Each structure stands twice: as C-alpha cells, then as structure tokens.
Structure 1
Amino acid sequence: MTIQPKNLSDPAVREFVSAVNAHDRDAFLALLTPDATMADDGSDRDLDDWINREIFDSHGHMEVDRESDGGRALVARYSNDTWGEMRTRWRFDVDDSGKIRRFETGQA
C-alpha cells in the first residue's frame, strides 16, 4: 500500500518526495543545506549532476511503500524515463533546522 507524500512522518522528507513528484527543482533545492551531499548505490555522486539526470531531466517519481526511522528511511518504487521503475531505498540526514544534509539511495 502506497503512503501518500502528505502522510509521511518527517517534514523534510515529505517535502522532498513532493518536490520530486511535482518536478519542482526550486522547491527541491530549497530543502537542501548549501553543502548537501548524496550517494547512489553506496558511491558518492555529484549532487547537481545526479538530480538533473536521475530526477528532473528524466521525470523522476516516487511511490513510497514503507517508512522507518521516524520517516527518515523509505522504501519506494522509483521511476524515471531512463531506467523505468525499480524498488529503491532512501535514507535522509536532516539537520536541526530541518534541511537535508545528505541523502542516500540505491536499489532495495
């Protein structure tokens, strides 16, 4: 059963999923700290290059199946025009101000 983004527990993660699904790059970037980092399948990636390629240029979309760790860990069906749909895991590190410092994703 899919969890609607508005029902996700962590506010930063809720807004992250909503921005991805709305293809709203400005809202997405506003959620990140200035020095935010990310990893895909265990390897650090260039954040700007990755989000352009995997989310915004390829119409990324997340359907969240499960959350844990207070809403900062997700299992989701992620799809984009490049790879189709795959089962993915996401983990978020959120700072005290509610901004995302780091996110990690990969196949689940």
Structure 2
Amino acid sequence: MKLASTLPDTPALRELMQLLHEEIGLSEHKTISLKTSINLDLGCTGSDAQHLMETLEERFELELADYDAYRYFHPAGNDPHFKRNAKGRGNKVPLTIGMLYEAIRLGHWDTQALEA
C-alpha cells in the first residue's frame, strides 16, 4: 500500500492502517491519505463494513452511539426496506480514514464534528 507523506505517524494511525489492511485490504495502486474514503474509494460495503466498525469499536474502545451505518454504507444482504430510501439515506456520505482516525482520538463517534 502507498501511504501519503502527509499521514501523521502516530501509534493509533498505524494500528488503524494495519486494521484496514487486514479487514478490507488497501490498494497497492492508490495512495492512501486521511481523505481516502473507505466506502467510496476502497469499496468497503455491507457485512465487511459492519464487521470493520464492530472491530474498531472493540479494539479502540470506540463509542458508536451517534454512528448511523446507513449514512455511509448500503445494507448487507437483501434489505426489503432499502428499496424505499429513507430521507437522507439515498446517496452515501464518504467515510474517510481521517474521520475514523479522529473518532479514535475522540473516543466516540460524533457525526456532525467528523463530517465538518
């Protein structure tokens, strides 16, 4: 994987990058930065996304009370309710490595702050 030279060299980010590499694989051809979205750029979806977020929650003791998976990912499997797009759930918001890193630093998911 190619890492952007602007990535901070911290233990938390190194652990996050290792986890992303293990869970979803990081492209050998793309340069990975804090602006890289795991859903839109790296193609993480469905059950892979669910497993990744559960692993992040456990490994980093991350509180995900404000996290809404439908905001970032299409549901795993066949979701009959997905055919009726709920307000604000049609187009997906990029979930970036920077957002994950900041949530780890904060210790919780704050959608408004992380997307700003």
TM-score by length of 2: 0.34
More strand per residue:
1
Q: Which of the pair has more CA radius of gyration? A: 2
Give the helix-richer structure, 1 or 2: 2
In the superposition, the TM-score normalised over structure 1's length comes to 0.36
